[in-house]
Chains A and B, each alone.
Chain A
Amino acid sequence: MAGLRLEGLRITRAGVPLVALEADIAPGEVLSVMGPSGSGKSTLLSAIMGTLAPSFAMTGRVRLDGCEITRQPPEARRVGILYQEELLFPHLSVGGNLAFGLPRAVRGRSARAARVAAALAEVGLAGFADRDPATLSGGQKARVALMRMLLAEPRALLLDEPFSRLDAGLRVQVREMVFARARARGLPVLLVTHDAADAAAAGGCVVELG
């Protein structure tokens, strides 16, 4: 029962079907969804997140580790997401961004700071906690965004073309890192992409939309 299951998921806009998907992603596995621009890839992810725009309608169920989450508000679903842009909060420091996602259960200022510092060290960014996120390089931002998401302890990870803005060398590196971290934490991953190389590197099944 563990993992991310999409049961008869159908998304329509003004009655017109946009996406229909049946999927079962086990912990540590990656499902790649490919499709041309406008085929509804981002819309599919927002349906799983619970942030579907009101102009869309959705039927079917989303189950995470056996529980149905379709009716839960987005903040309660524990579904993590990484977008093409890092979307670091520009008003918070790098450490502040990570602490934003750290659960409240981690109590005490020093304990939280220690968790943040450890997360930064894990991706080779030790000592970056006080930096302004706007001053980081693209690769560094990608790593901060990943660790911010993982610190929130999600139970599944959605990837909306998170590698497509990086240049070739960096792309391989960041891709490896994301998949390795997700696998290590046993997260089911749903990747949407334009790029066949991303899907190949993910190593799982590939679904075509549109």
Chain B
Amino acid sequence: MRPLRGAPLLTLLVLLGPVTAGLVGTLAPALGVFPALGGTRPSLAPMTALAAWPGLPGAVMLSVGVGLAATAISLVIVVLFVAGWQGTRAMAGLEQALAPLLSVPHAAAAFGLAFLIAPSGWIARALSPWATGWERPPDLLIVQDPLGLAMVAGLVVKEVPFLLLMTLAALPQVRPAQRMGVARALGYGPVTGWLKAVFPCVYAQIRLPVYAVLAYSMSVVDVAIILGPGTPPPLSVQVVRWMADPDLTLRFQAAAGAVLQLALVIGALGLWRLGEVVLGRLGRVWAEAGARRQGDGVLRLAGLGLAMLATGAVIAGLAGLGLWSVAGLWPFPEAWPEAISARSWLRHGPGLLAPGLETLWIAGAATALALALVLACLEAEHRFGLVPGARSLWLLYLPLLVPQVAFLPGLQAFALMAGVDMGRGAVILGHLVFVLPYVFLSLAAPWRAWDARHASVAAALGAGPGRVFRQVRLPMLLAPVLSAAAVGFAVSVGQYLPTLLIGGGRVQTLTTEAVALAAGGDRRAIAVTALAQTLVGMAGFALALAAPRILWANRRGLRAG
């Protein structure tokens, strides 16, 4: 009983300890304090050096612009789609594709998109030479364009499934069918009615995930390296470059950049909040004005088209990766390779074994730890009647709101000062910070929805709390427990920055390998590595889906969901 009572506190510590320590460790060098590197007195020198970097305005604009654009576009696509297609077959179809889409790592999706839209990519090949007249790849900067448009696209295709999942999870609580019934009876079109009667309440529920998307899009590093511009890059990428520089004095500048990144995210969140208020006001005026249908048909089609485009891009991108990984000679502008061969897999596959195992190790350990902590928290909540407040949800989201690049350098700084070697164990704990919130968010709702009278019956039958947990609740909730684990596993597989910065460049996973290949441009090596990364992430979901079906094949009561 005792250790269980401490579970929520321990979880909070695991979650917020590294974030807080990392922020302190970033802030100190940003203000000139870093004894190991000779910085003993506070000074503004790092900030001045940062301000003197000529790329700063561009990097800041990119960070803010890309973040706001990717978040706004993703949200609009999700809202239009759900508004127009709630409760239809199209929606059910996309829901099926959601879990595998979510498990595709950001880096792999970004590579897939790059392979599609690059001047020598699939789209250009499909249109050449008959439509474009191109016999050679055109000299266009489509991928890594200076405005970051490709990067926005790469983020949107991955954030749409995430926000869609969050919206679908929030939807039942606002009883959309009843609300829409009323709205339709009052003569409102499906989209207009949904936007006016359902959306405000749904948005209140998905606000935190939207903020997380904004913070993530502003400060992401791996997608930026693959699809974003290089000179200047978004601020977060520049911070990582300075961190990796052999000239250790640049660490001060890096820390200053990280602090600026944090400030930018906080500022953008504030701006977004302001936008919410203004749009909310305007929306109320619009709702009260009583217009019944405003381009419902067009909006509905747009929602479907955009959602299909976003999901289609990920799927086509993966297909493109698949084809490149087995392509023999494939000259431009052919749409298909001249020959199919296993050569690339044979050549690059063996080298991926070690990082593959490392990926499995880290993801497996981080997921197991996260699952143990989350189950302990939820069980403590049940046994001691704890009622989690709204604040605990904020705390859970905190690691997703504070940019990784703002606190991971600080952790590295601490390690440097303490002279400890941060190996695989530290990387696992670093991943845990990001895996835990997702596992908790996936599992909490089904765990709490369990009919607790089963526990009363089991107790009346003489079973103590431990036995009820092991023999009744856990088996009954096996499917949601495993899918939460799969979500956590996929999150860990996709992590780039924690592995890079906490591992000090010495821990190699499939993700760090894949991103490291971005600069080289060896398409076959990239394809093989990114696919391996995707397959590992998806394998978790496949297992999570298959295990309960096999285990409970003869139990109809557990196959409803």
Q: Mark A residues whose CB is within 8 Å of B.
A: 46, 49-51, 53-55, 73-81, 83, 85, 87-91, 100-101, 103, 132-135, 148-149, 152, 154
Number of interface residues of B (CB under 8 A): 27
Q: Is the CB of B460 within 8 A of A90?
A: no
Q: Is the CB of A149 within 8 A of B460?
A: yes
Binary flags per residue of B524-561, CB closer than 8 Å to A gives 1, else 0: 00000000000000000000000000001011111000
Which one of B87-95, B172-180, B461-469 is at the A interface? Answer: B461-469
Jot down 15 A-B pairs with beta carbons below 8 A, ordered by A. A49-B460, A76-B462, A78-B462, A85-B453, A87-B451, A87-B453, A87-B454, A87-B457, A90-B557, A91-B478, A91-B557, A91-B558, A101-B462, A132-B555, A152-B460
Q: Decide if A91 touches B555 in the complex (CB within 8 Å).
A: yes
| Residue pair B457, A75 in contact (C-beta under 8 Å) | no
Among A54, A77, A132, A149, the most chain B Cβ lie within 10 Å of the Cβ of A132
Taking beta carbons and an 8 Å cutoff, which residues of B are in contact with A?
Answer: 384-385, 451, 453-465, 471-472, 475-476, 478, 552, 554-558
- Chain B residues within an 8 Å CB radius of A50: 459
B475→A152 contact, CB < 8 A: no
Q: Are A89 and B556 touching (Cβ within 8 A)?
A: no
| A54-B385, A89-B454, A89-B476 known; A152+B461 contact, CB < 8 A | yes
A132 close to B554 (CB less than 8 A): yes
A85 proximity list for chain B (CB < 8 A): 451, 453
How many angstroms from the CA of A53 to the CA of B464 in the assembled complex? 17
Contact between A134 and B461 (Cβ–Cβ < 8 Å)?
no
The answer to whether B557 and A132 have CB atoms under 8 Å apart is yes
Determine whether the beta carbon of A133 is less than 8 Å from that of B557: yes
B558 contacts A90, C-beta separation under 8 Å:
yes
Contact B555 A90 (CB under 8 A): yes
Query: A77 to chain B: closest CB distance in Å?
Result: 8
Q: Which residue of chain B has the shortest Cβ distance to A84 in the bound complex?
A: B453
A128 to chain B, nearest CB (A): 14
Docked-complex contact B456 and A46, CB < 8 angstroms: yes
**Partner among A55, A75, A83 whose Cβ is within 8 Å of the Cβ of B453:** A83
Inter-chain contact A74/B459, CB cutoff 8 Å: yes
Residues of B within 8 A of A53 (CB): 385
Contacts known (A53-B385, A91-B558); A75 close to B476, Cβ less than 8 A: no
* A52–chain B nearest beta-carbon distance, Å: 10
Q: Which residue of A lies closest to B476 (CB)?
A: A91
List chain B residues, Cβ under 8 A from A83.
453, 456-457
Measured between C-beta atoms, what is the minimum distance from B186 to chain A in Å? 33
| B451:A149 contact, CB within 8 angstroms | no
Q: In the complex, which residue of chain A has the Cβ closest to the Cβ of B386?
A: A54
Give the residue of B456, B458, B475, B557 whose beta carbon is less than 8 angstroms from that of A134. Answer: B557
Q: A75-B462, A91-B475, A100-B461 are in contact. Are A51 and B557 (CB under 8 A)?
A: no
Shortest Cβ gap from A46 to chain B (Å): 7
